[in-house]
Amino acid sequence: MENTDTIAALATPSGESAIALIRVTGALCEKIAMEAFTLAKSPAPRHASYGSYRDLSGEILDDVVYILFRGPKSYTGEDVLEVSCHGNPLIATRLLEDLLARGCRQSDPGEFTRRAFLNGRMDLTQAEAVMELIQARSDRAIRVANKQLRGNFGRQLDELKMRLLATVATIEAYIDFPDEDLPPEQKKAEIEAIRSVLAFCGRIIDSGKYAAFLRDGVKTLILGEPNAGKSSLLNCLLGFERAIVSDEPGTTRDFIRERIMLDGYCIQVMDTAGLREAANGIEQQGIRKTVELTEEADLFLLVIDGTLPAPTLPEEVSRQITADNCILVQNKADLGALQPLPSPLDGLRRVTMSALSGTGLESLKSAAVEMIDAHLAQDQDDLILVNARHSAALKELSECLESAIRNFEAGEPAEFVASELRGAVEAIGRVLGRIDNEDMLDVLFSSFCIGK
> Could you read off the pLDDT of 112-140 as tens digits, one per residue?
999 999 999 999 899 988 988 888 877 87
Question: How much is the CA Rg of the chain, to the nearest whole Å?
Answer: 29
Q: Which residue has the higher pLDDT, 176 or 314?
A: 314
User: Any binding-site annotation on 232?
Assistant: yes
Average confidence (pLDDT) over 145-154: 88
Ligand-binding site membership of 247 (annotated): yes
Statement: residue 1 has pLDDT above 50: no
Q: Tell me: is residue 121 an annotated ligand-binding position.
A: yes
The answer on whether 141 is annotated among ligand-binding residues is no
The confidence score (pLDDT) of residue 278 equals: 57
> Does 252 appear as a known binding residue?
yes
Distance CA 172, CA 17 (A): 62
Q: What percent of the chain has pLDDT over 70?
A: 83
pLDDT value at residue 56:
96
CB 110 within 8 A of CB 448: yes
Query: What is the DSSP annotation of 198-228?
Result: HHHHHHHHHHHHHHHHHHH-EEEEEEE-TTS
Asked whether residue 167 is marked as a ligand-binding residue, the answer is no
pLDDT for residue 321? 84
332 labeled binding residue: yes
Lowest mean pLDDT among 16-25, 53-62, 63-72, 276-285: 276-285
Determine whether the annotation assigns residue 388 to a binding site.
Answer: no
Is 272 annotated to bind a ligand? Reply is: yes
Q: What is the mean pLDDT of residues 221-245?
A: 80
Which of these, 8, 28, 30, 7, lies nearest to 20 by C-alpha position? 8
The yes-or-no verdict on residue 441 having pLDDT over 70 is no
Establish whether 23 is an annotated binding residue.
Answer: yes
**% residues pLDDT > 90 (the chain):** 32
pLDDT per residue as tens digits for the range 160-195 = 888 888 888 888 776 666 556 667 778 888 889 899
Query: 125-213+387-433, what's its fold?
Result: Four Helix Bundle (Hemerythrin (Met), subunit A) (1.20.120)
The answer to whether 250 is a known ligand-binding residue is yes
Residue 152 in marked binding region: no
- On whether 333 is known to bind a ligand per the annotation, the reply is yes
**157-162 contact pairs (CB < 8 A, 24+):** 157/125, 157/428, 157/431, 157/432, 158/432, 160/197, 160/200, 160/201, 160/428, 161/425, 161/428, 161/429
Indicate if the pLDDT at residue 236 is higher than 60: yes
pLDDT at 364 over 50: yes
Q: Read off the pLDDT band of 254 (50, 70, 90).
A: low
pLDDT mean over 225-241: 83
Confirm whether residue 246 is marked as ligand binding: yes
Q: What is the pLDDT of residue 440?
A: 47
More confident residue, 216 or 425: 425
| Residue 73 annotated as part of some ligand binding site | no
Mapped onto helix, strand or coil, the DSSP state of residue 356 is: coil
Q: What is the mean pLDDT of residues 48-57?
A: 97
Domain residue spans of the chain: 7-122, 125-213+387-433, 222-359
Residue 195 CB partners (closer than 8 Å, separation 6+): 405
Does 398 carry a binding-site annotation? no
151-160 confidence digits (pLDDT tens): 888 888 888 8
Confidence of residue 447 (pLDDT cuts 50, 70, 90): low
Q: In this predicted structure, what is the pLDDT of residue 117?
A: 92
Q: Check: CATH 3.30.1360.120 for 7-122?
A: yes
Q: Is 231 annotated as a binding residue?
A: yes
82 is an annotated ligand-binding site residue:
yes
Give me the chain's average pLDDT, please.
83
| Superfamily name and number for 222-359 | P-loop containing nucleotide triphosphate hydrolases (3.40.50.300)
